[in-house]
């Protein structure tokens, strides 16, 4: 639905800002209120509920997504500040028929219990692997420290990430 310049100006006065985001490979032209976080936009407006709202203060990592390939807490990012950005959520990493290697590794290594933190853990791990800074298990643990798991599946999470890292090194 096309909007007129007058409608766009009225929306901006009301706090909404025209913003273009590419989310999981699909481009969206949106009018977003200036106070809406990326997390709330994705969950409430885009229907992408895989990303979880944990603490809503950037302390637990449950809301971790990839923004232009870098891992970030979506609860701390105002959506309007990301105009032109590419966002990848857990829904954009793989499909039920073609899982992302990290998704498969989390299953293979039983790297989750309740599953609440798993989307953020996997997105953070994907960012970690693309950064290329983790070359030891200790580095994996350190660089994943922003993602908390209340169930304590840290050993299995590190096993899953190490497994994918080895696979990438072998390829």
Whether 30 and 20 have beta carbons less than 8 Å apart is answered as yes
pLDDT at 7 over 70: no
Q: CA 20, 47, 27 angle in degrees (round to 5)? A: 25
Residue 163 structure tokens: 């497994």
Same fold, 5-93 and 101-170: no
pLDDT at 3 over 90: no
The CA distance from 133 to 129, in Å, is 7
**Per-residue pLDDT at 169:** 84
Average pLDDT rounded to a whole number, residues 46-69: 97
Q: For the domain 101-170, what is the CATH code? A: 1.10.150.120
pLDDT at 23 over 90: yes
Average pLDDT rounded to a whole number, residues 97-107: 97
Q: What percent of the chain has pLDDT over 70?
A: 92
pLDDT at 6 over 80: no
In the 8-state DSSP scheme, what is residue 58? Answer: S
Whether 139 and 109 have beta carbons less than 8 Å apart is answered as no
CATH topology assigned to domain 5-93: Ubiquitin-like (UB roll) (3.10.20)
**Per-residue pLDDT at 11:** 52
pTM, two decimal places: 0.89
Q: Please give the C-alpha separations between residue 171 and each of 41, 166, 168, in angstroms, as whole numbers.
A: 37, 9, 5
Average pLDDT rounded to a whole number, residues 91-105: 96
**Per-residue pLDDT at 9:** 54
Q: Considering only CA atoms, which of 77, 61, 42, 48 is closest in space to residue 118?
A: 61
Domain ranges of the chain: 5-93, 101-170
- What tens digit of pLDDT does each residue of 124-160 get? 999 999 999 898 999 999 999 999 999 999 999 999 9
């Amino acid at each position: 639905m096309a909007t007129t310049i007058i409608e766009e100006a009225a929306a901006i006065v009301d706090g909404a800002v025209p913003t273009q985001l590419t989310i999981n490979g699909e481009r969206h032209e949106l009018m977003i209120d200036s106070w809406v976080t990326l997390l709330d936009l994705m969950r409430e407006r885009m229907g992408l509920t895989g990303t979880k709202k944990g603490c809503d203060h950037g302390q637990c990592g449950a809301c971790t997504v990839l923004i232009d390939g870098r891992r970030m807490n979506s609860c701390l990012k105002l959506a309007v500040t990301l105009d032109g950005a590419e966002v990848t959520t857990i829904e954009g990493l793989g499909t039920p028929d073609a899982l992302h290697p990290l998704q498969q590794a989390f299953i293979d290594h039983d790297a989750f219990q309740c599953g609440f933190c798993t989307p953020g853990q996997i997105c953070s791990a994907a960012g970690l692997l693309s950064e290329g800074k983790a070359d030891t298990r200790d580095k994996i643990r350190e660089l994943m420290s922003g993602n908390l798991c209340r169930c304590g599946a840290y050993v299995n999470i590190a096993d899953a990430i190490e497994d994918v890292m080895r696979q990438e090194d072998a390829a």
